[in-house]
Amino acid sequence: MVFKAITMSAQINQQALPKPKFETLVEFAKQNKMGVFVGHTGTVMGLVMNASIMHDVFPYISAFIKENWNAKAYYDSCEQSVIKIF
C-alpha cells in the first residue's frame, strides 16, 4: 500500500510538472512491485522497493534507466530502499 500511495502522489505531481517517460517508469515499477517517487520540484524521480532485494535487482534497474533516460542509477549508501534517477 505504501508503494501505491507514493506512486499516486508522483502521478499527481506529473500533471503539474511533467517528467520525460514517466509512464515508462510507472509501468516498470508496477511490473516489479515497486513504487515511483518524484521530488517536489520535479527534478528527481526514482523507484522505491523493499530494501532486501535492492542489491539483487540493481544491475537490472541500472540497465533499464540507462536504456530509457541515458542516465546513471544510484542508490543510497545507507541501505535504504530507494533508487534515484537523475
Q: What is the pLDDT of residues 50-71, one digit of tens each?
A: 888 888 888 999 999 999 988 8
User: Residue 84: pLDDT band by 50, 70, 90 thresholds?
Assistant: low
Neighbours of 85 (CB within 10 A): 21
Cα 41 to Cα 32: distance, rounded to the nearest angstrom: 26
User: Residue 40: pLDDT band by 50, 70, 90 thresholds?
Assistant: confident
* Cβ pair 47, 33 in contact under 8 A: no
Query: What is the domain count for the chain?
Result: 1
What's the predicted TM-score (pTM) here? 0.81
What pLDDT score was predicted for residue 39? 84
Q: Is the pLDDT of residue 83 over 70?
A: no
What pLDDT score was predicted for residue 85? 54
Q: Domain range holding 52?
A: 2-85
